[in-house]
Amino acid sequence: MEEPAPPILDEQQLWRSFIGQNADRYLEQFRKFTGGDEPRFALTWHWPAFLFDPFLWFLYRKMYLYAAVYAIGPVLSAYFTGDLTVGVVWRVMAGASANYIYYWHVREHVAAIKEKASLGGRVQEQSLKDLGGVQPYVIWVGVALHILMFAVLIKAIQEGPQEGNPFPTLKPAPPKSRASLES
């Protein structure tokens, strides 16, 4: 006999299955965005996105575009401004927006999975597994990156400060003398 297809999941089950770990906590945060007809931003705070490298958290939750933005953005900002503290600004932005960004990520993918529901419960289950949940290997990537970062930091401390300023600043031109202005 053929095994019956699993039942199609309701909306709440889809969201819980897609999110996986910590679904209750995320769903509680998501309720803050759903008052009224259309979703709207509400300020929430996400400690893991703030405390850990934000790009790792976005990668952990399979939000690849945001992971790339948060991997490249702080580096480019520090390079162009010469200010190494811009990473703190990026972390604050991630902490304040991560729940909302994740809400939209889940919402869009659940909508796509619901469209596949007509194909049967198995397709729905497979889609939830493929698109949702977390990537546990990212924890080890984070550990490796932090070990590398500490090794570079220790090496930099051992070598001492570099000659000259690694981030040269533009100095204003000296004021022109009155004689040069008149000629």
pLDDT for 38: 87
pTM over 0.85: no
Token pair recorded at residue 68: 């790339």
The answer to whether residue 176 scores a pLDDT higher than 90 is no
Alpha carbons 4 and 2: distance in angstroms, whole number: 6
CB-CB contact of 133 with 18 (8 Å)? yes
79-98 pLDDT per residue, tens: 898 888 999 999 999 999 99
Mean residue pLDDT across the chain: 83
108-167 pLDDT per residue, tens: 999 988 887 666 677 777 788 788 888 888 888 878 877 887 787 787 777 776 666 555
SS3 37: coil
